[in-house]
Amino acid sequence: MTTTMTAATPANNVRQDALVIGLVGLAHSISHFFHLILAPLFPWIKEAFSLSYAELGLLMTVFFIVSGVGQALSGFVVDKLGARAVLFFGVSCLGVSALALSMAQNYPMLLAGSMLAGLGNSVFHPSDYTLLNKRVSTARLGYAFSVHGITGNLGWATAPVFLISIAGIAGWRNALLAAALLPLIVLVILFIYRDALRTDEVAQTNRAATSAGTVNPAGAINKNEGTMDFMRLPAVWMCFAFFFMTAMALGGIQSFASVSLREVYGMSLGWATTAYTGYMLASAAGMLWGGFIAAKTTQHDRTITIAFSVAGCFALLLATGWVNAALAVVLMAAIGFGSGIAGPSRDLLIRAAAPKNATGRVYGVVYSGLDTGLACSPLLFGAVMDAHHPGWIFICIGVFQVMAILTAVNVGANTKARALAV
């Protein structure tokens, strides 16, 4: 009897981990899908409301501003109410936002719908990473973070195809109505498997540990410290800076890489789009491999350094215009692959820096750096393009990746120093 129980337990753990990883990944994919809920439909929306490109851009900026501020705040709500309830709210909010956008009659209504989508998006990283950290076995966290990143990329890749295909046949309003159904489907699936997403028993354990004054190697909050004391940890703000830098680079790729490639290399729109698609697919593949690397090592800052160094060098090579168009497409994929490898190690690096009883708050504040960078990036790279320096797009991307390396090294060193001090 004892032998049977021992043999069954690992299998049960694997199934439990796989279920949680799959559910969280599904939710993350719909979050990233809604990052692009409007951008693919800009040609139709611009014509319908006679909008300028600046007004269209403001819709995206508003989305990420609301998401960034909400993300920093939602981490506190996750720690207070639990990740599951907050995740359900976020998914529901996305569905309502698509419905509101489909019925918009003027620009202010579009802004309101975009803000609502940003509010829904704001809860995912604090909720997702709290669930993964508390419900997935430590040995499988590297794989969990890898799947989390891949599903996000799949959401980015799916949105333009889904929305443009429907808009071309039935109009942009019907495309948004169809998109509104997706969060509903996801919400039903999450509700069916809601028991796998419970964190209340883990929260009770953490509260007991906190009242006893326990400390984790990363500098956990003891019983005498308050809710906001985690913000005194330098590693938290270095992680914020890391995400800001990587988001600035990512924003440059998403917003202007295709335009830059067309001007620097004389590519057709089809080839430039292929280059961007190659970047996204290679990034997903890099995340898959990065998950195996992250699971086998604790030197996550070293992995990030190598991956971003290679990606940054390829970005600088692209900026020169020395290669031909076909090789430029390959280099775009190589940049994506290197950036993808760094993803799981990045998430484990942040986990090591986060106090155990402030997971939601830390991830909320840290990941708000991602939204901040995505909100600021179009302004910088747009100015570079307006100044007629398309090659500088890739120089800036490489510079931001180098700056991300510096912050990652500082996070790793700071976390190790505090672990030795305990």
More confident position, 328 or 153:
328
CB-CB contact of 244 with 236 (8 Å): no
Looking at residue 372, its pLDDT comes to 86
What is the reported pLDDT for 357? 60
Give the model's pLDDT for residue 223.
Answer: 45
Other residues' Cβ atoms within 10 Å of the Cβ of residue 17: 20
pLDDT digits (tens, 9 = 90+) for 272-328: 778 888 888 898 889 888 888 887 877 788 888 899 899 999 999 999 889 888 899
Residue 101 reports pLDDT greater than 90: yes
Report pLDDT digits (tens) over 246-262: 889 888 887 778 778 88
Across 330-375, where does the E strand assignment appear? none
CA 246 to chain centre: 11
How many Cα atoms within 13 Å fall on the side-chain side of residue 89?
17
Average pLDDT over residues 192-220: 58
Q: What string of DSSP letters covers 377-397? A: HHHHHHHHHHTT-TTHHHHHH
Q: At what angle do helices 325-353 and 269-296 cross, to 10 degrees?
A: 30
Mean pLDDT of 62-79: 87
Q: Minimum mean pLDDT among 9-23, 186-200, 217-231, 408-422: which range?
A: 217-231
Q: What is the pLDDT, as a whole number, of residue 117?
A: 96
Question: Does residue 209 carry a pLDDT above 70?
Answer: no
Is it the case that residue 338 has pLDDT exceeding 50?
Answer: yes
Q: Sign (positive/negative) of CA torsion 241, 243, 245, 247?
A: negative
What is the rounded average pLDDT of the residues 130-153?
87
Angstrom CA distances, 252 to 100, 137, 353, stand at 29, 36, 28
For residue 224, pLDDT beyond 60: no
Place 416 in a pLDDT band, splitting at 50, 70 and 90. Answer: low
What is the model's pLDDT at position 219? 44
Domains assigned to the chain: 14-197 (1.20.1250.20), 230-417 (1.20.1250.20)
Distance CA 153, CA 227 (A): 33
pLDDT band for position 407 (cuts 50, 70, 90): confident
Compute CA distances 398 → 283, 309, 319, whole Å: 16, 9, 9
**CA distance linking residue 379 with residue 248, whole number of Å:** 10
b/e 185-215 (16+ beta carbons within 10 angstroms → b): ebbeebeeeeebbebeebbeebeebbeeeeb
How far, CA to CA in Å, does 153 sit from each of 88, 134, 148? 21, 24, 9
Instruction: Render 240-300 in DSSP notation, one character per residue.
Output: HHHHHHHHHHHHHHHHHHHHHHHHHH---HHHHHHHHHHHHHHHHHHHHHHHHHHHH-S-H
Output 200 or 32, whichever has higher pLDDT: 32
More confident residue, 220 or 96: 96
Please report the pLDDT score of residue 417 as a whole number: 59
The helix or strand, by DSSP H or E, that contains position 64, with its residue range, turns out to be helix 53-81
Q: Please state, in angstroms and rounded to a whole number, the distance separating the CA atoms of residues 55 and 60.
A: 9
- DSSP letters spanning 172-192: HHHHHHHHHHHHHHHHHHHHH
Rounded to an integer, what distance in angstroms lies between the CA atom of residue 79 and that of residue 191? Answer: 20
Whole-angstrom CA distances from 16 to 20, 22, 36, 133, 198 are 6, 10, 31, 13, 12
Higher pLDDT, 120 or 205: 120
Closest to 132 (Cα-Cα) out of 143, 121, 122: 143
Q: Confidence class of residue 225 from pLDDT cuts 50, 70 and 90?
A: low
The mean per-residue pLDDT over the stretch 171-176 comes to 96
User: What pLDDT does residue 211 have?
Assistant: 45
* pLDDT value of position 110: 96
What's the confidence (pLDDT) of residue 124?
92
188-202, 237-251, 326-340, 396-410 — most confident range: 326-340
Is 252 within 8 Å of 381 (Cβ atoms)? yes
Q: Which of the listed ranges 5-14, 165-174, 215-224, 412-421 does the model predict with the highest average pLDDT?
A: 165-174
Q: Whole-number mean pLDDT of the chain?
A: 82
pLDDT at 214 exceeding the cut of 50: no
Please state the rounded mean pLDDT for residues 331-344. 90
